[in-house]
Amino acid sequence: MALDPYLHLLPTNEFYAGKVPLPIPDDAPGAFSPRKYPVMSAVHSWSLLDFRQLGVNLGQHDCEPRVTDNCYFYPVQEAHDVYLVVCIDAHLTDPRHRHWGIRWVLDHHTTLRGGGTMDRAARCLEVTSNLRSDHLINWGPHTQSSKYQTTDPITVFELGRFTKAQLLMMEAIAWHIPVQLPADGEYNCQNWVAAFFSVAVGYGLLKLETVNAVMLQALQREIPSKASSSFS
């Protein structure tokens, strides 16, 4: 799968070429923020894309709450390893039917009498299916413990280690990757990730050779044995 089959969906040619400064203020004219939508989230996020480009609230019977986001409890540290996470359900024999997402692990330390605990969650850059109709939604970056402690079989491919500033740049990029509407029978979450990769490469965050190698492995019918089944 090439990196650029859906780049025409991006806001401008300059965007994926790395010529637009990001991030931009969330009070920019026309900016989208979860505060403008009935969601239970403390997230500080934005997008210049409109609802339709994100796949949000497209019709009278299409409204649903934003995915759970616990980012308030899991602050970003100074650096994190970032992964392409691939769901490898045994019933999905076609590699193109696997779910892809970009994730990294966040820690939450709780101090209790007699000791403390450390909980982990995944920071997720990925699109999810609408529960009421057949299309994908970009809810923006979100943090969920269930995406870290998942019971679903997964394989992960390391993309590299990134600073806090680089991670925030990745989140800004993810907010500006729209979804294909209407569905064309080919577009799925993998194409969204590929578009994200293309922009991240354009901004110098990811190396093209790393992205190509990871995608080549992730699209094989049999996942390479050297791939990991967990991330931390």
This prediction's pTM: 0.83
Which of 98 and 17 is assigned the larger pLDDT?
98
Q: Indicate if the pLDDT at residue 92 is higher than 60.
A: yes
| Domains held by the chain: number | 1
Tell me phi and psi for residue 55, to 5 degrees: 85, 15
Tell me the average pLDDT across 70-80: 78
- Written as six digits, the tokens of 136 are 């994908």
Q: Is the confidence at residue 134, as pLDDT, over 90?
A: no
Residue 42 lies in a domain: yes
Higher pLDDT, 70 or 96: 96
Q: Which domain holds residue 210?
A: 7-218
Query: Domain for residue 223, yes or no?
Result: no
In a domain, 49, yes or no: yes
What tens digit of pLDDT does each residue of 44-53 get?
A: 446 777 778 8
